[in-house]
Each structure stands twice: as structure tokens, then as C-alpha cells.
Structure 1
Amino acid sequence: MRKPNLGKTEKIAAIILVWWLFAFPVHAGSLTPELAVLLEQAEPDGKIPVIVRFVGKVNDRRFDKPIGIKGTDSESRKIKRTEREIPGPAPVKDKMDKIDRKQLIRALKEKAHQARTAVNNRLLSHRVEKVRNLWAINAVALEADARLIEELSDDPSVERIDPDVAISMVQPMFSGHSENRWNLDMIGAPEVWKQGFTGQGVVLAIMDTGVDGKHPDLEDQWRGGNNSWFDPFGKYNLPHDPIGHGTQVAGIAVGGDFGGGAIGVAPGAQWIAVKIYDDDGTSAYSIIHAGFQWLLDPDGDPDTDDAPDVVNKSWGFVDALDQCVAEFQEDIQILTQAGIAMVCASGNTGPNAATSVSPSNYVESISVGAVDADDEIADFSGRGPSPCGEAVYPTFTAPGEFVRTADLTLGGIGDPYVEVSGTSYAAAHVTGALALLMSAHPDAELSDLKQALSGGAKDLGEPGPDHEYGYGRINVPAALELLQNSSGNDSGRGGGGCFISASNDSR
């Protein structure tokens, strides 16, 4: 996992640190305290990147069914997954699949359109040219001077205005080279492959630094088409990763066997990706929001259900330990309500207790800590409890020390494999494990899949769920057996991390 750096206004950012540290409750039209400070310091004609959130949310009870492990959170949602055809470069799900998701997307877009219309004239009068539409959270991102910000703050359609905080990442903790694939054996992936389940028919999303689409273990697994790659910075039309972290995560989740044996947990699955960091490792809140939004509707058409089944997000606010930083909770709630599993690394923030990070510690996230080859919790693995709710933190553990995976191909120079450590890579194992279970039981509800993983996990540490190992280290064959016993038959298709620090000086 990697960590977001403070910029020019670090001391102010220290208050709003790590991906909007505070979810201040504010009245409609009011400025957040962070933005008020920036306005006081701004030059007369200076522009400040902001996110303008509008009043009103889509709040239909049809979409208000959080997914969790039974006995830990609320009632599981009832959206089912169905078989879909996968030939061609960019397949989509059957039109009868997830009708609620289509309705949800339409409702979100309509609400956002109405809100944006209310302020369009104001934006035009101030000659605001670049506006990023964040319809999923009923907001827009733009650069505005103090006068426009104050006008918008007085507009009754505006709920609040926040700084569009700049973020940056740190590099993975360790690297090396190894031929050992102990991690796949530990979780039982090869045993599930032998039963005919390799992740086929499942789409995984990597929300990270990008993915090296030319890597021989990843190029054939890319779904392809214009709905399978999103670069919000507008630099690359095809999958690209100048940093390597996203490629390493993808390799563990879905990597193939070009090097003589599969490196990924679900080599039969497909992947799509959103590049949420620029080439220098920087980003901004609005970029991350846009990434989440794209995952909900990659091609922009609600009628073609091309969203992924699982999202891997191996990044978080490591500068805000044991805090509930809610900046992206609404995004994750919406994706979860749409039936998409959200897997997140627990953070390289251990070994102390109460070292959880957001967005991993949201109730809606599936948080993953790291164990070594001896099934011992890694010293660096983030621990609970979570300040965001009563859920166990982390949810699960998985291999995360000295794991072999894909690395940047660099035009054929050097070894395209690397050994890595971090909870980013532990999370990728759970992402792949969910794909294996989904390929075996395409009609299983997400709550059932999570329940099977928790019930089949190897209990480590204190008896029962705890805040070091969660429900335990995942065991995919045991989880699959639980699913098969509960369904009564085989219905399958078969045959470190990016942690963030924040600043508010740039976009």
C-alpha cells in the first residue's frame, strides 16, 4: 500500500489530512473550516480547486441494503449475479442482470443533472471552463476564485464546498526476485483450479497506478474495448503503469502462467483498470471520485451492465490512523449497493492496535491484513478495531510477505517478475479468491460469498474473530465447500500499498 505527501500548505492539510480527515457536518451552503482557511490565504485572483456538493441524495430503499457478513452488519442485499456471455473484446452482463443497478445509475445521473442545472448560469458568468461532473455523489469539481466560492456557498442548492485536496503516494516496502509461489498453495487456489474454477466469467477491477497491459501474464486477461480502461488524466488510451504498484496487485489477483505457472489467484478472470495516480504518483480527491464513478458505469450507458464484479483498492489514508475519514464512503456505499465487492488493504501501519485506515475501515469495505509464510501476522499489517463501526478489522488476512508477482516489462529489459510485501498484495489474494468463488457459484449473493470466506478461513490468533487476523486467513477450498453445501449443487461456470497523504495546494 502506498501513502498519500503533504504539499505547500501542510500545516493546514494536517488538519484535513489524509483524504479529508474530517467529515464535518455543515449546513447547506456553508464552507468547510478547511476551505475557509484557504480563502483567507488566497491571492485576490487566485483559483482554488474545490468540490461542490449539492443538496439531495438518491435515497430509494431498493438501493439501501448494505452487504456484510451475517451477524456483523445489516441485512444482506438481494441482488443476484447471473451467467453472462464473454466472447468478444468487451462483454457485458445480460440485460436482465441487476435491474436495480441500472435504476440506481439512472437515478444518480438524473439527480446530479438537476443539481448542476441550478448553478450552470453562475458558472458560465464566471467563465468556468473545466468542470468535472461527479454524478455518483451529486457533486462537481472545479477551480474557482473566492468570489465564486462565496456565491456558491450562498446558493440554496449547494450543500457544502470542500477543498479538492491533492494527494501523493509512497513506494512499496520491499522488493526482490523469487520463483516461490507458496502464497497460492497457502490459500488453496490450485486445488480450486483442479475443480474447474479459475475465475472464468468474472471481471475484476484494479483501482491503482494503472496496469502494464503488455505484461505476458496480464495482456490476455484484459477485457478489452473502450469500457475497460480509464485514465482520468487523459494521457494513455490503453492500459499503462509507469510506477508498477497496480501491475503487481493485478498479477496476484489475475496473473496468468506465461512464466511456467500461474502467478495469480484467478488466472481465468478478466481485469479492467482505472489509473487514479498520475505518472509522478500524485492525484486529487476529485480524480478518485471520478474513478469510483467510472467503475459503476464504465461505458456511460446504464443499459449495458459492464461494471466489474470485484474492485481491488490497495491504498488508504495512513496519516489518519484510527480515524474514520469519510471522503470516499459514499462512493463505496453506492458501489456496494450495486452489488460490487470492494476489497481494500488494511494498511502497512502495524504493529500496534488501533492502526486502521480509511477507506479500509468503512463498514462496507472488505479489509485485508497480511500474514507471512508461517501464517504469522506481519508486523506491518494494520490492526483494528475500526472507528467507523463494529465490524471486525481487518475482515480477513492473506499472504502478504515476499510474494511473487508481475512487474513492469520495461520494453523487455530485465525480469518482469518481482517479490513484494505489503497489505496491498494481501488484498489482491482476496480479490482473486472472490473471483474463484463467483466462477463456481455465479448466482451466489455477495453476502453469501463473504460468509463462506469467513466460515472457511483458518482461525489464527485469539479464538474467533479478532482485530489482528480478522475472521482468519482465507482458505478458498473450504469456502467453496461451504458454498456447495449451502447450495446443494455445483452451479459454476467451470469446465505494500498505496497509502495517502494529503495537501490542498494543487490538483
Structure 2
Amino acid sequence: MISTLAASIILAHSTASAVPTAGAANDAGRIRQDQWHLRFLNVAKAHLVTRGPGIVVAVPDTGVDAHPDLAGNLLRGTDVMSDAGGDGRRDANSHGTAMAGLIAAHGATDNLGALGIAPEAKILPIISSAADNRGEADDLAAAVEYATSHHADVISISSSGATSARLVQAIKAALAADVVVVAGVGNRPEAISVGYPASEEDVIAVAGVDRAGRHASISVTGPEADVAAPAVDIYSTSYGGKYAKGTGTSSATAIVAGAAALIRSKYPDLPAQEVAHRLTATAIDKGPPGRDDEYGYGVIDLVAALTADVPPLGFESPSVTAPTSTAAHDNSDDNSTARGLATLGVLLAAGGGYLVWRRRRRAEDPPPRISR
């Protein structure tokens, strides 16, 4: 039963790694090299299609510090936790700055500094969590309300946990306003099941994978999972112009939010549900064929999500063009990428039923969360 009282939530990042790191990661000349997820997701090729201009991504978190790699991309936001107000552009923890960097850092010249998935998108920073990574559900609700009223295109929620009536209402209002809402499924051992708002229908629930493209042990599993993205040893921006390394579904969430920003930039008239549809329909199937509780519909494929011929919801047909594997996902030892794409081609040739089937859970699973 959903509590009507404000409840504690926790950011979906492992606390041991959500702090600035010393050494090479603090060297702007090395940080791009350390961002392995950029190569894994073939971000360079995706950026030939779009870099996310015209899109605003709200980041309700610990705030976002004015990092050089975010210069020009950081809007004035708010602080919903302070009666004194504020514009959201401060961060005593590093978590919010890291999430913003994964979404929209542009780095420096000559391939220096951190690079985000959508480096021409704008970040709307909202302080809704304290420096200890914890906040109240009603604070997150206020942040979501602010993001919706300020016309954010995407809301990236790297937190998971309990909820409140106000938070449920805020999330539903954001979805009704055609905002893409992305949230992490949560981390073990703090969580044992998918938390809120990832468990809300139509929110894109994000699980995590490791460098090999396998399910990250820290990532919670459950029938609510929609897609997966890199979540282990993820380097990004931090406060004070530094860089940080994080492990957790927070990072995966921000990466998927960046992917949603790219899709909204390439297809500005696409409704939020169709953005989610593109992410799930083009995801690279992992684990058992079809949707599963570890990967959801699969690991996101940025280039396919931006370029594949994906029919609108309810209009799947045999003419669908199968996405080509563009990311370095086939470093997994189970060769599931090649297997999944081969299966996709065969089933499409047999009548186009695969895309319909893969977006539905198996018969014994609960009904799909993302409306089809």
C-alpha cells in the first residue's frame, strides 16, 4: 500500500564510489579514455545523427555544480529543500553533478574532459536530496512538479525507494504532460525489489550492465525493468571541477535519460510513449529471448534508436527494418547480441511478429508496464 506520508528515498548510486576519485580520473586529458561506456554504446556514431540540441533534461538530485565540462549547458533551477531558495547550481555530494555530466557534459577541446550522451542538451538542476544522498518523497515530488511546470522534456530520476501520494500524483502529472520520465530500478543490497518511481507504469525503468554487457550484480531485478545501460565504473563530472567514478543504476539512468534526449531532439514531435517505444524496440536482447527481469527488453542501442525504422505503437508490420548492432555490446562472452539480432531478422521475415512479442512479457509475467 502506498503511504500518504513523506517517505525516505535513497539515490541509486553505490555510496562507496559516488565521491570524487583521485589520480587519473581527475586528469581532464584522461577522463574521456576512462569513459568506457562511450565506446560500448558507440556514442560517436550517434552524435553524427544528433547531439541533443533543443532538449531540457531535469535532474532532481543533490544539485549540479558549475563544472567546466557543463559550461553553457546548465540552466538556473531551484532548491526545493531550502526555504531560502537557490538555483540548484551547487552540489555538496557530487552525485547530481555526475548525473548531469553523463547526460550533457561537452568536455573541452581536443577530446579532453567528460562527454555526455547528449552534449548539446540543457540541464535543469533541482536540489531534492541532501548531501548524504537521502531525501524525502515529497521533496522529489516538488522537484518533479517544478520540472513539469518548467517544460522539461525529460526527467532523470537516479533515486529509488518509498513514495507518497504527492509523488505518485507528480509522476502521473509529468507523464500526462508528455514528459519522458526515466528512473533507476535501485541497487542491491539496499533494495531487493524495484522501487518507486521506476515501478510506476510508463516510467522507463533502467537496470544496469557491466563492461562485458552482462547484468550488473548491484542492479535490482524485477518485472518492471524496461531497458539496461552501463552501470559499473562509470566516470563523469564532479564538484570543484573534478571527476568521479560511480557504480550503480544511477549512472545507467542518466545514460538512458541522455538517450531519450537524443531521440526527442531527432524526433521533436514524437510523444513520450513513442520515445520509450523506440528505446525498447531497438534494444539489444540479452539473457533469455524477449523481455526478462535482469535486462528488460535489452541493452540500449543509441544508433538504432535514432535511425531504425520503428513503426508507431500498434502499427507493427513485416516491413520493420531490423536494427543493426552498432555498439560494442558483443564483448559479452555469451554472444547474445549476435544471437538476438539474428533471431530478430528471422522472426521479422516470418511475419513481423517479433517486435510485437518482445515488447510483451511472457504469459506468466505481469502485464507490460509501458503502454502499448
The TM tier, using the shorter chain, reads: 0.7 to 0.9
Tell me, yes or no, if structure 1 residue 335 matches structure 2 residue 174: yes
Instruction: Count residues with an aligned counterpart.
Output: 299
**Where in structure 2 are the equivalents of 1:218-367 lying within 5 Å?**
218-224=70-76, 228-233=77-82, 234=84, 236-237=86-87, 239-258=89-108, 260=112, 262-279=114-131, 281-298=133-150, 307-317=151-161, 328-349=167-188, 355-367=193-205
User: 1:174, 1:398 → 2: CA distance?
Assistant: 18
Structure 2 stretches lacking a partner, 5+ long: 26-30, 313-318, 320-372
User: 2:221, 2:14 → 1: CA distance?
Assistant: 21
CA change 1:279–1:181 in 2 (3 A) is closer
User: 1:181, 1:462 → 2: CA distance?
Assistant: 29
CA change 1:171–1:243 in 2 (3 A) is farther
2:80–2:127 Cα contact (<8 Å) kept: yes
| Equivalence for 2:301 | 475
**Where in structure 2 are the equivalents of 1:37-436 lying within 5 Å?**
162-165=4-7, 172-174=15-17, 176=21, 177=25, 179-195=33-49, 197-212=50-65, 214-224=66-76, 228-233=77-82, 234=84, 236-237=86-87, 239-258=89-108, 260=112, 262-279=114-131, 281-298=133-150, 307-317=151-161, 328-349=167-188, 355-385=193-223, 393-409=224-240, 416-436=242-262
CA change 1:168–1:484 in 2 (3 A) is closer
CA change 1:423–1:254 in 2 (3 A) is same
- Secondary structure of the residue aligned to 1:311 is strand
User: 2:170, 2:85 → 1: CA distance?
Assistant: 24
TM-score by length of 2: 0.73
User: 2:165, 2:294 → 1: CA distance?
Assistant: 23
Identity of aligned residues (%): 28
2:52–2:118 Cα contact (<8 Å) kept: yes
Deviations 1:348-389 (A, max 9, x none): 12699x62112211113111011011001000101002xxxx
Q: Residue 277 of structure 1: CA displacement?
A: 1.9
Structure 1 stretches lacking a partner, 5+ long: 1-21, 25-161, 299-306, 386-392, 489-507
Tell me, yes or no, if structure 1 residue 23 matches structure 2 residue 36: no
Tell me which structure has the larger Cα radius of gyration.
Answer: 1
Aligned alpha-carbon RMSD (Å): 2.8
What amino acid is the match of 1:263?
Answer: L
Q: Residue 439 of structure 1: CA displacement?
A: 1.2
2:207–2:220 Cα contact (<8 Å) kept: yes
Q: Residue 219 of structure 1: CA displacement?
A: 2.5
| Equivalence for 2:339 | none
Deviations 1:206-242 (A, max 9, x none): 0111101x20011210134xxx334441253451111
Q: Residue 443 of structure 1: CA displacement?
A: 1.1
What amino acid is the match of 1:274?
Answer: I
- Secondary structure of the residue aligned to 2:239 is coil
Q: Select the structure with the greater relative contact order (CA < 8 A; seq sep ≥ 6).
A: 1
